[in-house]
Amino acid sequence: MRNAPLRLQLASRAVCTLVQPPLPLWYNDHYQVSLPSTSSFPMEKYRYIREALQRELEAAGKATFHESPLASIEDLTTVHDGEYVRRYLANELSHKENRRIGFPWSEAGKLRALSSTGGTVAAMHAVCRPGGARFAGHIAGGTHHAFADRGEGYCVFNDIAVAAACALRDYPAIRRVLLVDLDVHQVCSAAADCNGSHRPPLRESSHSGGSTLAQRTEATDLAHRSDRLGTRTEATDL
């Protein structure tokens, strides 16, 4: 990815031309989690991206940067099973459950998981509150593999689903939420998390470039179809 810094610079400029006043951004790379030497997870990427954006945007007055707050249990349980939340926070998950998440449990890891969701919820409120920002972002999160009752794929809590559910809970004018995901595989859990009988309505559109990496998908109320670009989950009835 030799041209990644250039792409980041061009993308940040393009976004900020649309944003007045400065774009509020949240980050949580101040929570440092020590991982085994065998781990393939690129923990440092969050700090690198935040520093690159700060160099490009902050001095020019185009963005403000804020430490991500910790998500509340009340917010987490709009989507997640209360017992799963309690067991994770108390370090009561089994070795198998933690291995499925991909991280060994630690106090720093717990704070990172909470802030990964809290920052996305904070960005949502920044946009949805009356007179709020036109755009906001979180330089973390994106933990879309976490299900209501378990974590998977380096994701403890599903920050996107939680933020969507909180928007529907806190802002009556918002009746539906569309999630557009550009990862290279199907978003397997956000719609499943939010579309239970006691959860608010959510629609999800996932667009893969090239062959999908997903070998298993979760049942949702979305229409599924395959095309030459990979597996696409199409939002319906919007």
- Which residues are CB-neighbours of 7 under 8 A, at least 6 positions away? none
Please give the share of the chain, as a percent, with pLDDT higher than 90: 51
Mean pLDDT of 173-193: 69
The C-alpha angle with vertex 97 and arms to 91 and 99, in degrees rounded to 5, equals: 100
d(CA 230, CA 189): 18
Read off the pLDDT of residues 88-112 as tens digits, 9 standing for 90 and up.
999 999 999 999 998 889 999 999 9
d(CA 28, CA 117): 10
Q: What is the pTM of this model?
A: 0.75
8 Å CB contact between 153 and 145: yes
Give the Cβ contact number of residue 113 at 10 Å.
28
Give the torsion through C-alpha atoms of 90, 94, 98, 100, to 10 deg. -140
d(CA 198, CA 80): 12
d(CA 42, CA 23): 26
